[in-house]
Amino acid sequence: MTRALAALIALLALAVPARAEGYDDFINVAEAGLKPFARDIGGLLGAASNHTARSLGFSGFDMGFRSAIQLKPSSGNSVLPAKKAFGFNYFQAEIGMPYRVDGFVRAGGDDGLVVTSAGLRYGLRAISDQPYYVHAMLEAFGSLAAHKHFYAKHFGTNLRLSMNMGFAALYAGAGMDNTALTVQNSNNGLADRRVTAAEPRFFAGLKKKIRYGYFSAGYAETHGRGIVEGTLGLRF
């Protein structure tokens, strides 16, 4: 019953519509709206990249669905409705390599926005499954979000800690999102305009093992906005 309930919660979290009203209104954005939009896109590109600081170990493998939902756009983001949640859904695959190094790729997006990412992680401590052992991990990854009216390049870094509590593994950490947004099409003469945004991100959550896999749920705070993270996957 507990496993079934956990799986249901995870599925409901991932089933939240990760969309606003689409990004086609970007073509009408004013210059003042570019940087708030870049902050929002950058925070989502940096979110939901991982749910533990434990390395996979050599030849370990992880794959699953990830979701990052920002609860509402930043003030000044005129592209998206002011009080509606929006975000991305991903499929992510990871592989463990020697020396506690993991690599990952993911792809996803929504509403005509295509997102791809790749990155590396390094485990700062030896792998252990003992209760209350604290793992620590550094992460670095790059992402590209492409739409017919704009594209965004993102580079993110995270320092993540996690601890196995028996009933679940808890994680927390901090990261930095650096985003460069370039306008491709504009009704306001902004074509080829480029803006950058750099914002810290703080996050926490938990991971729970279930039959044949795991789920995780978390929350991140960045540029004064909240992001809900969810994962459902398999780990070997």
CA dist., res. 224 & res. 202, Å (int): 11
pLDDT tens-digit map of 10-52: 544 554 544 445 899 999 999 999 999 999 999 999 999 999 9
Phi and psi at residue 7, in whole multiples of 5°? -65, -40
CA dist., res. 63 & res. 96, Å (int): 12
User: By C-alpha distance, which of 75, 20, 21, 33 is closest to 187?
Assistant: 33
Per the listing, tokens 């983001």 go with: 77
- Answering whether pTM is above 0.85, one says yes
- Contact, 174 vs 53, CB < 8 A? no
User: By C-alpha distance, which of 80, 175, 69 is closest to 121?
Assistant: 175
pLDDT tens-digit map of 197-223: 999 999 999 999 998 899 999 999 999
- Mean pLDDT calculated for residue range 175-188: 98
Domain boundaries, the chain: 2-235
SS3 content of the chain, % helix, strand, coil (to 5): 15, 55, 35
Bridge partners (DSSP) of residue 121 are: 102, 139
Helix, strand or coil for residue 208?
Answer: strand
CA dist., res. 146 & res. 118, Å (int): 15
The first and second tokens of residue 19, run together, are 């969309």
Bridge partners (DSSP) of residue 138 are: 122, 159
Q: Residues 6 or more apart from 137 whose CB is under 8 A from it? A: 50, 52, 53, 54, 55, 121, 122, 123, 124, 158, 159, 160, 161, 162
pLDDT tens-digit map of 88-134: 999 999 999 999 999 999 999 888 899 999 999 999 999 999 999 99
Q: What pLDDT is stored for residue 22 in this prediction? A: 80
CA dist., res. 154 & res. 145, Å (int): 8
Measure CA 13 to chain center.
14
CA dist., res. 67 & res. 222, Å (int): 16
Q: What pLDDT is stored for residue 8 in this prediction? A: 44
